[in-house]
């Protein structure tokens, strides 16, 4: 597809409305997404965010953009409430080297992303691998007068930045600096070093016992949490780039501070479009480890949790996520997942049937039937949905409507001649493109492995049953069907022979 064929609109948190996407460089798109902090197993909410951005990445690709997708790994600089580095804390608890902790959970994170069938980003930079770049950015900020040093730590001067660049700080999160100050908590250790409570650290001097430390012109220490994204997005995407994404909860302070840092360092705005995904809820509440209202991806897959009656496969969970728009909160409930499971399986089966359909032999007379038009409309709706801020719910709804045509053709309820061969071909192509390339829903029946053997066995069994049926030997026929049902395979007798599905 050519990038100019369609108008893509995306909801920009910066402007608070849907903006038409106009890339900085024709045909190219640069996207930075805040990645995980690798101090613990990936959280389900992370999965939703990264699945959402994977769809965005894939759709930009499908539209013909050459996309550079950068998603970082945060392996330093994240302070916990008591001021200790998250990585170091994880290491102390597990008696591991910090980098061992980072490696372990990075691998776990990658495995989970693969399970959800997401594409790896183009570049996946680590914070610890970009200490010089971060130090350089601190220097840039200092030289432009927006930072100050206190006892070896360097702070960003929010008040001064706001005074000299009015309207920037707070624009993304809709905050007013004065109110922030009034409400600001005072529980950070370094608070007394700051000129102003709204200021934040861009370089922290190490305290005794800190193990993840580097030399800098100011002290032996470590970079502030917000700094890595500013430094790495600049390095790989340039000072100004197209899209910046992340979870809604990063809007403030992280993204707000990130913008301030970039502006402070180069005097220019970083991303032009800011995209934020919404939270995943469990039974109406935000997931939280402390009050027990949480479920891990693995628990969800295995069903080993009081919140679900059974396990739901990764693709069912992904389908469930895609049924909602990425900017809406999504509530995980057992009933909703069960509904998603049925919907997912039906969609997969529909695609299998569709791909095996052969166009009618009749010559095309050039006319466009009502069915042709309806199918073409449905295809257009699916794309329009994606063009409208990546509305996967609309895309899935269109696929569902298109699916009924597939079954009608397969069941001969719609005369094959009613659908022009080229329309059927287009439907096959688009349907598959949506499922495989854009929404990236794997057919778990295919992915189960060893399908060759199973196919062969099923072929044989169904042949025997077909013979029994032609002889009206219903006893044998039903015995086979019931036996297969007992191992989870359902047999369906159609006009064109018998098909089967698992599960």
Q: Which residues in 320-359 contact RNA (CB under 7 A)?
A: 323-325, 328-331, 333, 335-336, 338-340, 342-343, 346, 349
Q: Is 240 in the site for RNA (CB under 7 A)?
A: no
User: Looking at beta carbons only, is 139 or 400 nearer to RNA?
Assistant: 400
Beta bridge partners of 11: 18
Distance of closest approach, residue 80 Cβ to RNA, in angstroms:
6
Q: Please list, residue by residue across 81-91, b when 16 or more beta carbons sit within 10 angstroms of its beta carbon and e when fewer do.
A: eeebbbbbbbb
Position among 172, 287, 354, 419 found at the interface with RNA (CB under 7 A): 287
Closest among 103, 95, 41, 38 to 211, alpha carbons compared: 95
Residue given tokens 């993840």 in the structure block: 212
Q: Is 248 in the site for RNA (CB under 7 A)?
A: yes
Distance of closest approach, residue 105 Cβ to RNA, in angstroms:
11
> Which of the residues 158 through 217 are near RNA (CB under 7 A)?
173-175, 179-181, 183-185, 188, 197-198, 200
- x/- contact string, 481-500, with RNA (CB under 7 A)? x--------xxxxxx-----
* The token pair that represents 126 in the structure block: 């680590």
Distance of closest approach, residue 197 Cβ to RNA, in angstroms:
5
**220 prior amide bond cis, ω within 30:** no
* The token pair that represents 337 in the structure block: 């997942």
Position among 266, 279, 298, 433 found at the interface with RNA (CB under 7 A): 279
Torsion sign over Cα 199, 204, 207, 210? positive
> Which of the residues 377 through 396 are near RNA (CB under 7 A)?
385, 388-389, 391, 393-394, 396
Count of residues that interact with RNA, criterion CB under 7 A: 92
User: Looking at beta carbons only, is 53 or 236 nearer to RNA?
Assistant: 53
Position among 67, 250, 348, 430 found at the interface with RNA (CB under 7 A): 250
Contact 190, 204 (CB under 8 A): yes
* The token pair that represents 443 in the structure block: 């057919």
Stretch that binds RNA, among 38-46, 65-73, 90-98, 449-457 (CB under 7 A): 38-46
Q: Is 503 in the site for RNA (CB under 7 A)?
A: no
Q: Please list, residue by residue across 326-358, b when 16 or more beta carbons sit within 10 angstroms of its beta carbon and e when fewer do.
A: bbeebebeeeebbebbebbbebbbbbebbeebe
> Which of the residues 421 through 460 are near RNA (CB under 7 A)?
none
Q: Is 41 in the site for RNA (CB under 7 A)?
A: no
430/91 Cα distance (integer angstroms): 48
């Amino acid at each position: 597809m050519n990038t100019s064929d369609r108008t893509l609109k995306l909801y920009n948190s910066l402007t608070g409305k849907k903006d038409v996407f106009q890339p900085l460089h024709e045909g190219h798109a640069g996207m930075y997404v805040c990645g995980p902090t690798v101090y613990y197993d990936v959280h389900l909410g992370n999965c939703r965010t990264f699945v959402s951005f994977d769809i965005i990445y894939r759709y930009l690709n499908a539209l013909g953009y050459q996309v550079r997708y950068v998603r970082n790994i945060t392996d330093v600089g994240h302070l916990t409430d008591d001021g200790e580095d998250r990585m170091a804390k994880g290491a102390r608890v597990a008696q591991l080297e910090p980098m061992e902790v980072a490696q372990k959970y990075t691998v776990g994170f990658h495995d989970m992303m693969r399970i959800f069938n997401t594409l790896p980003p183009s570049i996946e930079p680590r914070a610890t691998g970009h200490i010089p770049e971060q130090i350089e950015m601190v220097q840039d900020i200092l030289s432009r007068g927006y930072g100050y040093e206190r006892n070896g730590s360097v702070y960003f001067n929010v008040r001064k930045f706001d005074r000299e660049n009015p309207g920037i700080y707070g624009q993304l999160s809709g905050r007013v600096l004065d109110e922030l100050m009034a409400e600001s908590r005072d529980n950070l250790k370094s608070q007394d070093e700051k000129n102003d409570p709204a200021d934040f650290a861009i370089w922290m001097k190490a305290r005794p016992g800190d193990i993840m430390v580097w030399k800098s012109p100011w002290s032996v220490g470590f970079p502030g949490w917000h700094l890595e994204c500013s430094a790495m997005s600049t390095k790989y995407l340039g000072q100004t780039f197209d899209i910046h994404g992340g979870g809604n909860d990063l809007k403030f302070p992280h993204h707000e501070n990130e913008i301030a840092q970039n502006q402070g360092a180069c005097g220019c705005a970083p991303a032009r479009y800011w995209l934020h995904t919404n939270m995943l809820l469990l039974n109406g509440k935000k997931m939280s480890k402390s009050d027990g209202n949480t479920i891990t991806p693995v628990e969800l897959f295995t069903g080993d949790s009081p919140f679900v009656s059974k396990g739901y496969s990764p693709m069912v969970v992904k389908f469930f996520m895609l049924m909602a728009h990425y900017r809406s909160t999504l509530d995980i409930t057992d009933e909703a997942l069960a509904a998603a499971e049925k919907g997912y399986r039906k969609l997969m089966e529909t695609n299998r049937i569709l791909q095996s359909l052969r166009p009618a032999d009749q010559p095309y007379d050039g006319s466009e039937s009502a069915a042709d038009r309806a199918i073409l409309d449905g295809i257009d709706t699916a794309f329009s949905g994606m063009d409208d801020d990546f509305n996967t719910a609309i895309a899935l709804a269109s696929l569902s409507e298109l699916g009924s045509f597939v079954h009608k053709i397969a069941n001969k309820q719609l005369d094959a001649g009613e659908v022009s061969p080229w329309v059927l071909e287009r439907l096959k192509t688009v349907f598959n493109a949506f499922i495989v390339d854009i929404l990236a829903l794997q057919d778990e029946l295919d992915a189960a492995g060893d399908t060759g053997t199973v196919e062969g066995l099923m072929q044989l069994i169904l042949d025997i049953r077909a013979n029994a049926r032609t002889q009206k030997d219903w006893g044998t026929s039903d015995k086979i069907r019931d036996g297969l049902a007992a191992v989870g395979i359902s047999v369906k007798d159609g006009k064109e022979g018998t098909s089967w599905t698992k599960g």
